[in-house]
Amino acid sequence: MILILAAPAAGAVRRDTVIEAPSVGSARISASAPTSSYPIGAGSDETVAIGVTSACQATCIAADPQSIANFLGTLVHGSEMELLTVQLETPSQLEFDCGYGAQACYYGAGSKIILSGDDAPAADGASREFVLAHEYGHHLARHRESPPPFPTAIEWGTPRWSSYENVCRRSRAGSLFPGNEGAHYFRDPGEAFAESFARLRFPESGIPWRWVRSLKPDATALEAIRKDTLDPWRGRTVLELRGRVPPRQRGSTVRTLRTPLDGAVSLRPAGRLRYQLRLLNPAGRVLRSSGHGVSPARRLSYTVCGQTSLRIAIRSSRRRGGGFKLQIKRP
């Protein structure tokens, strides 16, 4: 996700910025904040690296690293927790590092959250802990895979959540803008995901939802985030479909393929029999076709974008029917 220096709508409360790497000036600030490891508690032996800048040590009123670590331990998380660094800064340092009006920021390349060393609530009533939970949402997404051909999860959201929220369809329709942290900040699904992650921890926060209304999380969306956190998507699943096709004059064999997640689906035939493949939507519209026939060297590919199932029609390209075998890969 690239920081775009354009402001969101006037009067909107900007939660944060996501920046790939710190500037030279920000690196100098970080040099004054050596980190130490703090246990996150919650019955775990995990730790998180936390540093406090020298200026914040002198002037901040709530720069207690252990309290930050204790709160992080209350978030649903995976092994990405121990990859995190949190840096506590003065308000002026935070404004320099994160940009005017931002309450925090996340450096993707360094897996680092920049956070205030003071605990005054944000203009929309969000506590510092809520803001930290939002930033952790970015950190979580930074360390999750996104099904091809989609952008990274930090821009798109994690797989189950983004599929449930129809991020693909809405992005294609021009109502969402993945990775756009500028004028479309509140239409960026990566930001909506992070805010939703914060609401998983604070379901009764009462904080106004300022992102696209259709992305305001319900119970199913929050459960999708929980599953994406605890059981990460690890790549496409390989399935094998076997059966027989009738003689050409008797039509096609049709099978249904469930597609619970958006992303690339591919069909690769195996065996000697040549046959035609068509990929259909549930209503029967042809999405992809192999033409006159496919051989084991050819594949049929399609990007699932909002469909929960597809239909596969297999038709013999010879007078006689026979067996077929397909290798299917789906998200």
- For the segment 160-171, what is each residue's pLDDT rounded down to a tens digit? 999 999 999 999
User: What are the structure tokens assigned to 115, written together?
Assistant: 């956070």
Residue 36 confidence (pLDDT): 98
Distance CA 131, CA 104 (A): 7
H-assigned helices in the chain: 24-31, 54-59, 65-72, 91-98, 128-142, 153-156, 159-164, 167-172, 189-201, 219-230
Q: What is the pLDDT of residues 72-120, one digit of tens each?
A: 999 999 999 999 999 999 999 999 999 999 999 999 999 999 999 999 9
CA dihedral 89, 91, 92, 98 (to 10 degrees): 70
Arithmetic mean of pLDDT over the chain: 91
Task: Give the separation between CA 185 and CA 8, rounded to whole angstroms.
Answer: 6
Q: According to the model, what pLDDT value does residue 294 have?
A: 53
Q: What is the pLDDT of residues 194-205, one digit of tens each?
A: 999 999 999 999
Break the chain into its structural domains and give their ranges.
Answer: 17-230, 237-330
- pLDDT above 70: percentage of residues in the chain: 92
* Per-residue pLDDT at 291: 66
pLDDT value, residue 12: 60
Band (pLDDT 50/70/90 cuts) for residue 52 is very high
Judge whether residue 178 has pLDDT over 80. yes
Mean pLDDT within 19-35: 95
- In this predicted model, which residue has the larger pLDDT, 183 or 156? 156
Q: Which residue has the higher pLDDT, 322 or 260?
A: 260
Considering the domain 237-330 in this protein, what is its CATH number? 2.60.120.380
Phi, psi at 65, each rounded to 5°: -55, -40
User: Given a cut of 60, is residue 273 above it in pLDDT?
Assistant: no
Model confidence at 5, in pLDDT bands (50, 70, 90)? Answer: very low
Once rounded to an integer, what is the mean pLDDT over residues 288-295? 67
85 in Cβ contact with 112 (< 8 Å): yes
Only one residue has tokens 């020298």, namely 54
High-pLDDT (> 90) share of the chain, %: 78
